Amino acid sequence: MEKIVASIITIGDELLIGQVVDTNSAWMGQELNRNGIWVSHRTAVGDIRGDIWQALDTEFSRSRLILITGGLGPTADDITKPVLCDYFGGKLVVDEDALDNVKKIFTRLQRPLIARNLQQAEVPDNCTVIPNRRGTAPGMWFEKEGRIFVSMPGVPHEMKGMMTDEVIPRIRSLFQLPFIAHRTLLTAGIGESFLAEHIKTFEDALPASIRLAYLPNYGMVRLRLTIRGTDPVEATAALQSRFEDLKSLVAEWMVTDEDIPIQEAVGRLLKQRGQTLGTAESCTGGYIAHLITSIPGASSYFKGSIVSYANEIKTNLLHVNPGTLAAEGAVSESTVEAMVRGALGQLGTDYVIATSGIMGPDGGSPEKPVGTVWIAVGNRRNILAQKFSFRFDRARNIELTATNALNQLRKFILSDK
């Protein structure tokens, strides 16, 4: 069974200047890996003919499969199609099916159809056209000296439809692909280096077919085991056995044994118990509520949030004593505990998370430097407050506050009998 190595090329000036974040490569990498194809290189280039040509040459020399996104739009800066036409020695012709698709889309939208739009149906005459059921720009499949090049639109929704409906099935029909499986768990409360030291003996004893990866992010570390084999049943059993060993080793810090974010793990815990949650957020500005409601079905356990950014909101809506704010400040244990009590009354939930801190870059003091955060979680019987000291920029401090708050709540719920 041969190993198929792939490269991904993303095209567009907007990717290089950071105006658009490249989510296409991440999604494509996941899909290819799920189907037994290893992505060895990812390259981003601007809308410059010479740079695109050089990227094609480079990936031709090292990969069997080259997937390309971007540069297929109707404007002058979209030059991928003419470059590919020249690269593979073809000439542009109108594909009737693609033309019919463009006309139907503009008719349905009741929009005028101009020549620039009709040019979307032009493709090199030596490619296999890949239909675009979600947009106007067709994809293109080229084969040259044992290499396959696939060009797709940069619009994520269109690219994903094309990959799922056309590209992946065609690749699977051409190659006998290996079986690849992953198992991932999420830990919190232990750093990556300490975690690696703790499981060193386990990692050293892994067979060659199983790889361990560390994926740290905002105070949490995901551990991923990957197996590559020919027999799905045998490989899955071997992977699961090692995964159970790993779970036992990190049980003290394990948040979940699935590849899901902590907000989903907390949501499942609340749903299983038939309990509800609200938030009283100051320094996080509603970000924790955003994370929670980003999970489908959150309405069954999340009631709402009071974003008490200003002190008058803390006093008027959450009934924090003005004397507490004057004596101890908004960033204090007493304040976040009062915020929890106030939100429990206002929102009528089983649990509440409260946050108050100094995110930066300004606002700190010698007693309370930037990054000082108080987090409280609680119910009507008990409230637990904890102080944190973060040392990063504003965005990362907010992220760290949110993930630590969710983990603090998770542990509180599990200990709540």
Domains of the chain: residue spans and CATH: 5-174 (3.40.980.10), 179-256 (3.30.70.2860), 262-415 (3.90.950.20)
Over residues 154-173, the pLDDT tens digits come to 999 999 999 999 999 999 99
State the helix-helix crossing angle for 394-415 and 262-273, rounded to 10 degrees.
Answer: 30
pLDDT score at 310: 97
Going by pLDDT thresholds of 50, 70 and 90, the confidence category of residue 113 is: confident
Q: Provide the pLDDT confidence category of residue 204 given band limits of 50, 70 and 90.
A: very high
Using DSSP, state whether 109 is helix, strand or coil: helix
Over 80: is that where the pLDDT of 119 sits?
yes
For all residues of the chain together, what is the average pLDDT?
Answer: 95
What pLDDT is stored for residue 208 in this prediction? 94
Q: What pLDDT is attached to residue 116?
A: 87
pLDDT at 206 over 90: yes
Sheet holding 38-45, edge to edge: 38-45, 5-11, 65-69, 147-152, 139-144, 128-130
Q: What is the pTM of this model?
A: 0.81
Letter for the amino acid at 415? Answer: S
Residue 1 has pLDDT above 70, yes or no: no
Instruction: Determine the pLDDT at residue 257.
Output: 98
pLDDT surpassing 90 at residue 76: no
**3: pLDDT confidence band, cut at 50, 70 and 90?**
confident
Ramachandran angles phi, psi of 164, nearest 5°? -70, -45
What local confidence, expressed as pLDDT, does residue 2 receive? Answer: 64
| Residue 399 pLDDT grade (very low, low, confident, very high; cuts 50, 70, 90) | very high
Average pLDDT (343-372) is 97
Predicted pLDDT of residue 115: 86
Whole-number percent of the chain with pLDDT over 70: 100
The average pLDDT across 272-280 equals: 98
What number is the average pLDDT over the span 90-97?
A: 95
CA dihedral 310, 313, 316, 321 (to 10 degrees): -50
Tell whether the model's pLDDT for residue 417 goes beyond 80: no
Percent of the chain with pLDDT over 90: 90
DSSP β-ladder status, 351-357 and 277-281 = parallel
Give per-residue pLDDT as tens, 19-61.
999 999 999 999 998 898 989 999 999 999 999 999 999 999 9
At 200, the amino acid letter reads K
The confidence score (pLDDT) of residue 111 equals 87
Question: In the structure encoding, which two tokens stand for residue 380, read together?
Answer: 């009507």
C-beta of residue 66 within 8 angstroms of C-beta of residue 102: no
* 301, 271 contact by CB (below 8 A): yes
Give the pLDDT band (50/70/90) at residue 110. confident
Name the token pair of 66.
């080259």
Check the CA dihedral 92-98-102-103 and report its sign. positive
Say what the pLDDT of residue 171 is: 95
In angstroms, the CA 180 to CA 293 distance is 32
Instruction: Count the Cβ atoms, other than its own, within 10 Å of residue 367.
Output: 8
